[in-house]
Structure 1
Amino acid sequence: MFIAITILIVSCLIIPALGVIQSYIGLPMEAAFSHYLGLVALLGMSYCYILATRFKLVETLFCGLDKSYVLHKWLGLGSLAVIFLHDQIDAEIKSLGSPSMGELAEDLGGLGFDGLQILLLITVITLIPYALWKFTHKFIGVLFIISVLHFAWMPKPFDLTSPLGLYILSICGLGILSYFYTLTSGFARASKKQNPLKGTRAYKVINKEVTGDIISFEIAPIQKSIRHQAGQFSFISFDHPKLKEIHPFTISKAPTQEGNLRFSIKALGDYTKELPKHLEIGMTANVSKAYGHFGKKLGKRDEIWVAAGIGITPFVAMAQALSKQKDTEDKSTHLFYCVQNKEQAVHLEELEKIAAKCSRFHLHLCESSQGKRISLEQIKEAIGFDIKKASISFCGPTKLRKTLQTWFKSESVPSRRFHYEVFEIRSGIGINPIVKWVLKLLVMRFPKIKQAWTKLPF
């Protein structure tokens, strides 16, 4: 990850800075800085689309697809902030004149800036429906191309054939190609065509089980199966009008010879709430290649796993894979499964059977309704090895993750040994923070509301 971040800093900030310093000697500092910001924004947006391709090299460099999506989001927001500064600072250099395409280039720049503001606002306001967000998100690439044309046609003190010009055009060219790749691959999936670059495979649903608000189903490959490791996730869609959207879900089963996959999904959003209603045995599922590095170093050192709720899914697959490894006494794995009560513990019986057969795997159920909340003291007492040397993996709510990170940091556990994946492909400003902000203002204005405010569920 450090290498990848270094590459981005050098590519987006340092190289254009060196080029601007060399090309803008004797020209107004304010305009030079504005032009520099414009170049930085173009490069940032280019890398946004390169990250969105899901290429294996990208995933490897950024230690998992989830990390690359987080960086994709922040690069996009950062680029918008830089574009705003670029727009506010006077970029005109009168000594360069105004070529025939100058006015058009300026108009394109204004159009691109206004359009990006609207579309990125839709991106960060998560109360806007997912389908609308996904549809409008595709048009950001069009505005990106408009911004590249703005750069190409605006007067500047260097040629497009100069080292700086060629560098910017080459990175932007990769960004445009990446945009069209992501766009056309989506069309290919929509028309049910195989897209070999994405590794899509067709499966049939062979089993379905609904427990409360969680649906577990198993699918079998129609021809070839995807390759995956325990702890990885795939993007999946179904041959049904209500289930055609592509969403990422963790595979809750270790690799098997027959190539079957299992998914266990909680009804948390519009799409996942539709799954139990419309998913039927015999239905066709389209599954992408597997992503993620969550269980990559399985069994190589003493491990602590912490799962909360449906976050158990990668650990079920990892426990299965661990049980197939050679059983050794020098390494052990402790899984702390956090649930409100035992009845909500999906795959509990399966995990108990693995713990009974595999001496290196230990299961600890933490039921909050019984007063058995997870604690640092409980973890230290249960594991029986030096916590400083352990590898920690977590899957669950962000609040619990941050608490765990604080605990392990206090025990001098290196942060690089705390592993987790970010499953919010789209994140931003939801309805709860907005409501809380408005209500806080009301509390400040009307103190008597405070008593009612403390009883709110968020």
Structure 2
Amino acid sequence: MKTWHCTLGILLITAVTLLLEIPVNTWLTSATLSMIFGTTALLYMAASCLLGSRWRAVESVFGGLDRVYETHKWLGIWALVLASYHFVFKANLDEWNSVPIFELPKYWTRLARQLSYVALGLIVLLALNRKIPYSQWRWWHKLSGPLFLIVIVHWLSFKSPITLSSPVGVWVALFCATGVLAAVYKLLLYPCVGRAGEYRVAAVSRDKGAVHLTLEPVRQKFAFKAGQFAFLAMQEKGLREPHPFTIASAHASNGQIEFVIRGLGDYTSKLCECAKIGMHADIYAPYGRFKRPAHAKQEVWIGAGVGISPFISWLQDAQAKDFDNATLVYCFNPSRAFPPVEALQAMAEQRGVRFIGNPGGLDALVDSLHHAVGRTEPANVHVSFCGPKGLLLKVRELMTAQHIPRANLHIELFEFR
């Protein structure tokens, strides 16, 4: 499922079931549109809670937790857009025979309406503000669940043509109930039941503002596949917030797991500076669906900065094969390259992967795609990418120039916020 499938699907189902409850002659009015948009905004919030639960079933539907969080973000944005229209335009007509599902005094009914819009705006603005330190942002974002309850109170207490026994009422009630359960699970139960294992830092390597961590299991280890990621929470003051990092190693029998982390924000900078051997960490994992394409005749792997991590795990996967058809392009800043280019080149050559170091410009990317197209048809070339959005746009342009289908591009979303 893609983001637009989710947003458009919820909107259409809400619109159809709601139109069944009101007179046909009122369909083409601002009040009807306001009611549809307001109800859909409520359901977008419920869906955001559901997507934020990290349930395995939800991840499977979207094809990876990175896609889940991308949809989660856009649901919040569209909820605020639709709620703004609903807030401005009256969502009631005399012909509707509107009654509240749960009646409250007028003061509290009006207050719930105003607070619900303020709550939604606060959630979205806080979620999208990158200037807020991660530790503070995470705790503010935890308020999403409780604030969602205010919006539900507004729906139940405000006059509308929706009844709990109607199709739209059943649709909204079930969706909201699922959203509340998901929010309660994430807020209270996930730290207890979602933990995959406790680990100890066994080795630390630092260079150029980055750190390479090797952790070994203390109590419980978990199996994972090359290309997946985990939420790492160090058991140290200021580093306890679970933070997503791509696993930079393949699954090993001894349970060891590795991460390559660059200090790009307040949390990662502190982690790079303070991490030391002997520290303990909780790891919630595994997540993600970043896998090598099956039956690809030519593969081009493009990793930029710490986006090289999933490709390191691919190279270490003892069960993988057909490396002679792969080209690894490492895009890096010479002053910040970590792991070192020489180490990655040796690792690639050991597995028979063609390696290209790209310290800047697009020449290496053009060469890698041209080389792949020269060995097979463009339709048989598959590109796997992990890196910033700016470079992703360039990769798409180069693929178009080489007539490689857009569908042959597989990406791991680089940012969650």
**TM (normalized to structure 2)?**
0.91
Deviation at 1:372, TM superposition (A): 8.3
Q: Residue 396 of structure 1 is aligned with which of 361, 381, 387?
A: 387
C-alpha distance in 2 between matches for 1:97 and 1:210: 65
Deviation at 1:25, TM superposition (A): 0.4
| Aligned match of 1:93 | 93
SS in 2 for 1:23: coil
Decide whether aligned partners of structure 1 residues 248 and 217 sit closer, same or farther in structure 2, where only a CA change above 3 A counts. Answer: same
Aligned: 1:210 with 2:200: no
C-alpha distance in 2 between matches for 1:422 and 1:284: 28
Question: Following superposition of structure 1 onto structure 2, how do residues 217-256 of structure 1 map, counting pairs within 5 Å?
Answer: 217-256=213-252
Residue identity opposite 1:405 in structure 2: R
Aligned: 1:385 with 2:375: yes
Residues 327 and 355, structure 2, Cα contact 8 Å, conserved in 1: yes
| Aligned match of 2:133 | 129
Residues 219 and 262, structure 1, Cα contact 8 Å, conserved in 2: yes
C-alpha distance in 1 between matches for 2:132 and 2:38: 29
Decide whether aligned partners of structure 1 residues 401 and 76 sit closer, same or farther in structure 2, where only a CA change above 3 A counts. Answer: same
Deviation at 1:163, TM superposition (A): 2.1
Decide whether aligned partners of structure 1 residues 354 and 40 sit closer, same or farther in structure 2, where only a CA change above 3 A counts. Answer: same
Deviation at 1:310, TM superposition (A): 2.0
Residue by residue over 1:266-319, the C-alpha shift from the partner in whole angstroms, topping out at 9 and shown as x without a partner, is 111111111233212111111011111112536754210112222211111111
Residue identity opposite 1:406 in structure 2: E
Residue by residue over 1:207-227, the C-alpha shift from the partner in whole angstroms, topping out at 9 and shown as x without a partner, is 111112110010011122121
C-alpha distance in 1 between matches for 2:121 and 2:260: 37
Identity across matched positions, percent: 29
Residues 293 and 382, structure 2, Cα contact 8 Å, conserved in 1: no
| Aligned match of 1:363 | 355
Residue identity opposite 1:9 in structure 2: L
Residues 329 and 365, structure 2, Cα contact 8 Å, conserved in 1: no
Question: Following superposition of structure 1 onto structure 2, how do residues 254-333 of structure 1 map, counting pairs within 5 Å?
Answer: 254-297=250-293, 300-321=296-317, 324-326=319-321, 332-333=325-326
Residue by residue over 1:61-118, the C-alpha shift from the partner in whole angstroms, topping out at 9 and shown as x without a partner, is 1121111101101100100111110011112334637765362333211111123223
C-alpha distance in 1 between matches for 2:322 and 2:47: 44
Residue identity opposite 1:325 in structure 2: A
C-alpha distance in 2 between matches for 1:223 and 1:296: 31
Decide whether aligned partners of structure 1 residues 155 and 374 sit closer, same or farther in structure 2, where only a CA change above 3 A counts. Answer: same
SS in 2 for 1:306: strand
C-alpha distance in 2 between matches for 1:108 and 1:342: 54
Residue by residue over 1:34-60, the C-alpha shift from the partner in whole angstroms, topping out at 9 and shown as x without a partner, is 211111111111111111111112112
Decide whether aligned partners of structure 1 residues 213 and 150 sit closer, same or farther in structure 2, where only a CA change above 3 A counts. Answer: same
Residue identity opposite 2:180 in structure 1: I
Residue identity opposite 1:304 in structure 2: V
Residues 303 and 390, structure 1, Cα contact 8 Å, conserved in 2: yes
Comparing 90-99 with 231-240, greater Cα deviation is found at 90-99
Deviation at 1:167, TM superposition (A): 1.4
Aligned: 1:108 with 2:112: yes
Aligned: 1:354 with 2:317: no
Deviation at 1:168, TM superposition (A): 0.8
SS in 1 for 2:379: helix
Aligned: 1:173 with 2:177: yes
Residue by residue over 1:388-417, the C-alpha shift from the partner in whole angstroms, topping out at 9 and shown as x without a partner, is 311111122221111011110222222221
Residues 249 and 263, structure 1, Cα contact 8 Å, conserved in 2: yes
| Aligned match of 1:412 | 403
Residue identity opposite 1:290 in structure 2: P
Deviation at 1:148, TM superposition (A): 1.2
Residues 319 and 351, structure 1, Cα contact 8 Å, conserved in 2: no
Decide whether aligned partners of structure 1 residues 151 and 214 sit closer, same or farther in structure 2, where only a CA change above 3 A counts. Answer: same
**5+ residue gaps in structure 2?**
none
C-alpha distance in 2 between matches for 1:228 and 1:267: 25
**TM (normalized to structure 1)?**
0.83
C-alpha distance in 1 between matches for 2:185 and 2:375: 49
C-alpha distance in 2 between matches for 1:202 and 1:79: 38
Decide whether aligned partners of structure 1 residues 246 and 62 sit closer, same or farther in structure 2, where only a CA change above 3 A counts. Answer: same
Decide whether aligned partners of structure 1 residues 179 and 325 sit closer, same or farther in structure 2, where only a CA change above 3 A counts. Answer: closer
SS in 1 for 2:90: coil
Residue identity opposite 1:411 in structure 2: Q
Residue identity opposite 2:405 in structure 1: P
Deviation at 1:345, TM superposition (A): 4.7
Decide whether aligned partners of structure 1 residues 338 and 108 sit closer, same or farther in structure 2, where only a CA change above 3 A counts. Answer: same
SS in 2 for 1:126: coil
SS in 1 for 2:364: coil
Decide whether aligned partners of structure 1 residues 185 and 415 sit closer, same or farther in structure 2, where only a CA change above 3 A counts. Answer: farther
C-alpha distance in 2 between matches for 1:213 and 1:299: 38
C-alpha distance in 2 between matches for 1:30 and 1:351: 60
Decide whether aligned partners of structure 1 residues 279 and 306 sit closer, same or farther in structure 2, where only a CA change above 3 A counts. Answer: same
Residue identity opposite 1:109 in structure 2: R
